[in-house]
Structure 1
Amino acid sequence: MRVGRGAREDRADARDIEWPPSARSPGPAGRAGAARALAAAGASRHRARDFAWPGAHGAEAGVSGCGRRNILLVIFDSLGEGALASMADALPVLSGLRREALRFAAAYAPSPEGGPARASLFTGLDIPVHGVWTDGVALPERETTVAQRLAACGWRTWLVGRRHLAGVSNWTTEHARPFEYAHLDWAHGPLHRSRQNAYLAWLQDRAPAAYAEIFPTQANADDTDCPDWQRAAMSALPDALSFNRWVGARSCELLASHGRDGPFFGIAGFVIGETMGAAPRQSSPCEALQERALRQADAALGDILRQLERSGLAETTALVVTAARGSVAEADTDAPMQESAIRVPLMIRSPGLAAGTVAQAVSTIDVAATLYALSRVPPPRRLQGAPLLATGPGSVGRGWALSRLRRDHGWKTALRHGRWKLVVSHGDPDAGVQPGFSLFDLREDPEESRDLAADQAHQGMLETMIDLMIDARVAMEDRTEPRIASF
């Protein structure tokens, strides 16, 4: 589908796409050509940062003799940036981090589905590259997670809570890779009834009567739908028995036991989504959040930060807080690429790192590269993300972010660049679904209530964004395999 160029009056809108200095004036080639130049320049910078990393020639090259910083990664399962901002008064710890950390105000998950988005977050690879194209697909063994890489370089690695890099239906246990974690308290969620769910084992031991009330029968692997009364009973547990306070308490115990013989890389995986680890809705990939669970997670994060101080680790620990995907007001939404579903919190607090806000669009595909930069561990060759610390206030980075959704949920792609957002519905002839476009000006319409794709005055901007999306997809093609010969 081609889009007309539009009238002269739309050219001011086209210039609002925030060109970097090398492409600020579209020139005689027109807006579409300038978009291609922009994407090419972004791809060039992206490749230079990713594949010319100093000391990346060997697995542990450059590690010895450098500062070995502790890293704590906090991941929420489903939390939108807008939802976090709207609940700021009820979340003192997260609100404090929004002021005190380096905050990325336009961070996007690569997918509104948790599994694909987490695979990108843990590997630094785009969805078509790592292969986790939807929930229920396991991350291939060929891919390296950040935890694996840091463990191989001497970091003491641990995870408490959700991981979600493999299928977990039928109450399946998700197994970590060999030597990935020195300590693993895995729990996909408070209602996921795997026998290896560490939280449920703890709850049954700590509060057997409460456990028996929530789970009066044995788990049935063929019946993973939890009734409303069961969700309500789990949600009504006292804060001290909640899943997220357990994640915080176990994380604090691991921090308290940490010696000074080497750095640690810890992951606290909070669960605040409404399904709580049970079977998700089939009608939508999105999930609404539980406000009480979020408040419990906020309190647990406060406990973790205080434990860092008590243990003398705060001055040597980098803290990264983000979410696998966003959250929506109604889980059965017919707009899975809306801002609330894919724009997520992303905050970094680290010794020597100035607080501030980055307004340009970034992707959580860049989190892995950022963790390597913080740890000063050379990343694996197979990495597409770029360190976000190179895109601090006032700098120019990639400048755009892509999110994708599989065919079963409408086969969509979203692109954010500057004030503009494009959502492409790719269509499905078998289902009778026609392709189409949606264009939003997020500066003037942050709620995405006015689709400008059919507006004649914005046809030039629509074409520019379509061209940029094509070039962005090309820029994210897999070029991680090194070229070892000229032909």
Structure 2
Amino acid sequence: MTCPTRHNILWIVFDSLSETACAALPTLSAFRDSSLHFARAYAPSPEAGPARASLFTGLDMAAHGVWTEGVALPGRETTVAQRMADGGMGTWLVGRRQLAGASHWTTEHARPFEYAQFDWAHGPLHRSRQNAYLAWLEARAPEAYQEIFPAQPDPDATEISDRQRHALAALPEALGFNSWVGARVCAQLSQPAGGANCFGVAGLVVGETQGGAPNPHIPCETVDAGAMRQADAALAAMLERLDSTGLAERTAVVVTAARGALATSRGPMQDSALHVPLMIRMPGRAPRRTEAMVSTIDVAPTLYALADMPPPRRIQGRSLLDGTPRDWALSRLRSPDHRWQTALCMDRWKLVVTHGANGRAAHDSLFDLTEDPGEASNLAADPAHQDRLEQMVDRMIDARVALEDRTEPRIAKF
């Protein structure tokens, strides 16, 4: 299934959102029903930094090198936006990016010529002086801004107080972060060249930390209900603007999340932390739901296909428009604050290998996601499932081999 026509692209990226949460949101639920819906899409990591690096490059984390939070995407790697800009598309971003370090309230700079318009904002509680949302809030509602941030940022004080969180939650909907993202995207689409041959990214923030300091003991996070409502309304506004400007007829809209969100305390590799929404609405393409297992490293090559643009030579994902998904997904946690884990999802089964201090497997967990979606029953020690366990271990080895980077040219035979 090829896609030979170049589309304008609006790419909407949630920071933390599980696939199952979409059913409770009216706009997301309706959008899912009108799209090419990949119902079994998995992130390559429960940590936002590695997962987002894979999303924006089409590379596995072992290839791009962002192995945990706080590691910047190396300069040698090419992002989707860079490639789109080089190909002549107008590029812009509103909201979260998270491909470089932003500790101690520093600004995350885009790469040269990556975005023609860059409205960067890590989140509503990230106090960088270059946070475009906070600059807008201070100008639009100075009293509300002072209520949240009564003093200038102290680079050594990265914790967010409960008072600040309550002040943020008390903001009127129109002043919320995701409402601002939606309004800025709508304004961008309304410009004379805003929808002409464009690639736009809307970075929505719904995770509980809201751009504040992450919890080092939890590599994933739960979602904020108020931020989710705002994000769903912002999506509705963006889709309506595409319709009212006539851009919907030539714009592909892609909705996904960098990673999932915690639903229980079962651990960072639980299904909800890895299983993310992935929906693509294309002009002239009938909606369809597919149960094929895919990874979000496949999003970048899919975006290149939508733009009718050749991908970089160094890419590991596959376009989801050609109808040949690999039907498995590999996810890894390599945080220095947690036991390292590797997970393989394939068919109805999920294998999680927890690694010991020497890197070797310490213990295995095997789950039947159809019979046990909550992953309450570990079948790894069950004699009736030893053949399945061995098969999944073999397939995990195969998956790691399949994702090796072999793009370095061979210039000699000796």
| TM-score interval, normalised by the smaller of the two chains | over 0.9
Kindly provide the amino acid, as one letter, of the partner of residue 250 in structure 1: R
1:423 is aligned to 2:357: no
Tell me the distance in 1 between the aligned counterparts of 2:80 and 2:53: 11
1:413 is aligned to 2:350: no
Tell me the distance in 2 between the aligned counterparts of 1:389 and 1:283: 38
Kindly provide the amino acid, as one letter, of the partner of residue 321 in structure 1: V
1:7-40 CA-to-partner distances (Å, cap 9, x unmatched) read xxxxxxxxxxxxxxxxxxxxxxxxxxxxxxxxxx
Q: Secondary structure, in 3 states, of the residue corresponding to 2:321?
A: helix
Determine the structure 2 residue equivalent to 1:357: 289
Contact persistence 2:189–2:195 (CA under 8 A): no
Determine the structure 2 residue equivalent to 1:459: 386
Listed as ranges, the gaps of 5+ residues in structure 1 are 1-48, 54-65
1:154-177 CA-to-partner distances (Å, cap 9, x unmatched) read 100000000000111100100000
- Equivalent residues in 2 for 1:301-450, closer than 5 Å: 301-329=235-263, 333=265, 335-391=267-323, 396-408=324-336, 409-428=338-357, 435-450=362-377
1:120 is aligned to 2:36: no
Listed as ranges, the gaps of 5+ residues in structure 2 are none
* TM-score, L = length of structure 1: 0.82
Tell me the distance in 2 between the aligned counterparts of 1:360 and 1:69: 24
Determine the structure 2 residue equivalent to 1:42: none
1:383-442 CA-to-partner distances (Å, cap 9, x unmatched) read 110001123xxxx52010011001422110110000000000011259xx9711000001
Tell me the distance in 1 between the aligned counterparts of 2:223 and 2:192: 33
1:121-180 CA-to-partner distances (Å, cap 9, x unmatched) read 000000010011111111111110010001011100000000000111100100000000
Contact persistence 1:83–1:340 (CA under 8 A): no
Contact persistence 2:133–2:180 (CA under 8 A): yes
Q: Secondary structure, in 3 states, of the residue corresponding to 1:416?
A: strand
Tell me the distance in 1 between the aligned counterparts of 2:192 and 2:241: 11
Determine the structure 2 residue equivalent to 1:96: 30
1:91-145 CA-to-partner distances (Å, cap 9, x unmatched) read 2110101111011111000100001101000000000100111111111111100
Tell me the distance in 2 between the aligned counterparts of 1:84 and 1:339: 15
Q: 1:434–1:222: structure 2 CA closer, same or farther, 3 Å change rule?
A: same
Tell me the distance in 2 between the aligned counterparts of 1:424 and 1:260: 47
Question: How many residues get paired?
Answer: 413
Contact persistence 2:18–2:261 (CA under 8 A): yes
Q: Secondary structure, in 3 states, of the residue corresponding to 2:322?
A: helix
Q: Secondary structure, in 3 states, of the residue corresponding to 1:194?
A: coil
* TM-score, L = length of structure 2: 0.96
- Equivalent residues in 2 for 1:34-433, closer than 5 Å: 67-85=5-23, 87=24, 91-259=25-193, 262-329=196-263, 333=265, 335-391=267-323, 396-408=324-336, 409-428=338-357
1:470 is aligned to 2:408: no
Question: What fraction of aligned residue pairs are identical, expressed as a percent?
Answer: 63
Runs of 4+ in 1 over 4 A off after TM superposition: 484-487
RMSD of aligned Cα (Å) = 1.9
1:275-298 CA-to-partner distances (Å, cap 9, x unmatched) read 010110011101110111111100
Tell me the distance in 2 between the aligned counterparts of 1:316 and 1:482: 38
Tell me the distance in 1 between the aligned counterparts of 2:90 and 2:263: 38
Tell me the distance in 1 between the aligned counterparts of 2:244 and 2:303: 24
Kindly provide the amino acid, as one letter, of the partner of residue 138 in structure 2: Q
Tell me the distance in 2 between the aligned counterparts of 1:284 and 1:383: 30
Shift of 1:230: 1.0
Tell me the distance in 2 between the aligned counterparts of 1:165 and 1:405: 17
Shift of 1:258: 3.9
Q: 1:258–1:343: structure 2 CA closer, same or farther, 3 Å change rule?
A: farther
The more displaced of 334-343 and 465-474 is 334-343
Q: Secondary structure, in 3 states, of the residue corresponding to 1:97?
A: helix
Tell me the distance in 2 between the aligned counterparts of 1:258 and 1:181: 18
Structure holding more helix per residue: 1
Determine the structure 2 residue equivalent to 1:29: none
